[in-house]
Structure 1
Amino acid sequence: MALSTAERDALLAESLVAALAATAEGGRGPLNVPVWYAYHPGADFMITTGGGSRKARLIASAGRFTLLVDRTAPTYRYVTAEGPVTSTAATTDEELAEISARYMPADKVPAYMEQLRSSEDDMVTIRMRPEHWLSADLGSV
């Protein structure tokens, strides 16, 4: 059974890792990788990645991507959102802190941010406006 908008937003508010899918080149299957994300109801999804990563290049080429967020307990629920990229820009400290704080203890965020900032690959923030949604609670069947 499809989730209501409120149920969908509640699932997306949980600290769950998303699976990102982006069209690949050369007849290969789509790239499908885990990502941390931020989402606020009615707004764009936000992810961060290395600007030179394959993920960033494929998203830029396709101009859109899909996110799948699921959880297995107490019932299996999932949400997919697919849509166009609305912006790609250098990641700010505020964006990096927002996403990181969803997935790790607050006292670990500064060191994690410093580690990312010291890498050779500059981070970019990619925003996606969800146009197409799929969702279900398979435990309610």
Structure 2
Amino acid sequence: MTLAMSASEREAFLAEAHVGILSVADGTDRAPLALPVWYLYEPGGEVAFITGRDSRKMALVRQAGRVSLVAQESAPPYRYASVEGPVVSIEDPAKQDDRRTMAERYLGAEGGAQYLESTKAVADTMVMVRVRPERWYTRDYRKQ
């Protein structure tokens, strides 16, 4: 028996609202930068996340041209999906509708509206990065 998720299982899992851990290469003398991110994903599509245009994360994403993202379930039985792939687009600035969708996904309608209000001064500095999943690594310990 394999603990790997099927293609449909992994895509459905990644489409759920998990906080992802984004990793991107950080040169030859450092470990990869790994940071938590909110993300969007629909089965068969691209992974998208929003970050600051002038952030260290964004500079490294531009330089590397590819990232990996891990989403996990933190309570037993554990599950995770890791995707790796190239950056296929950077939308600068991120669209207000995309920012709203992201905020509401993680905070609900009321919390999302509060978040957008509290970040409106930096909204024009945020960019949407889209990544095409090429490689998947998964485990679903519910299958044991």
Q: TM-score, normalised by structure 2?
A: 0.91
**2:85 pairs with 1:83:** yes
Structure 2 counterparts to residues 29-44 of structure 1, below 5 A? 29-44=31-46
Structure 2 counterparts to residues 49-64 of structure 1, below 5 A? 49-64=51-66
CA contact (8 A) 2:24 2:64 kept: yes
CA contact (8 A) 1:51 1:121 kept: no
User: What SS does the aligned partner of 2:122 have?
Assistant: coil
Amino acid at match of 1:13: A
Identity %: 38
User: What SS does the aligned partner of 1:127 have?
Assistant: strand
Find the counterpart in structure 2 of residue 115 from structure 1.
118
Deviates more, 1:44-53 or 1:68-77: 68-77
- Please give the alpha-carbon distance, in whole angstroms, between the structure 2 residues aligned to 1:120 and 1:47: 14
Q: Alignment RMSD, CA only?
A: 1.6
Deviation at 1:103, TM superposition (A): 0.5
Deviation at 1:120, TM superposition (A): 8.1
Moved over 4 A (4+): none
In the alignment, which of 25, 28, 38 is matched to residue 27 of structure 2? 25
Structure 1 residues 27 and 121: alpha-carbon distance in aligned structure 2, compared to 1, 3 A threshold: farther
- Please give the alpha-carbon distance, in whole angstroms, between the structure 1 residues aligned to 2:120 and 2:64: 27
Structure 1 residues 120 and 26: alpha-carbon distance in aligned structure 2, compared to 1, 3 A threshold: farther
Tell me how many residue pairs correspond in the alignment.
141
- Please give the alpha-carbon distance, in whole angstroms, between the structure 2 residues aligned to 1:12 and 1:27: 31
**2:89 pairs with 1:96:** no
**2:134 pairs with 1:131:** yes
| Structure 1, unaligned runs of 5 or more | none
Deviations 1:80-132 (A, max 9, x none): 00000001111001110111111102112122112222138700000000011
Deviates more, 1:24-33 or 1:35-44: 24-33
| Structure 2, unaligned runs of 5 or more | none
Q: TM-score, normalised by structure 1?
A: 0.93
- Please give the alpha-carbon distance, in whole angstroms, between the structure 2 residues aligned to 1:55 and 1:117: 21
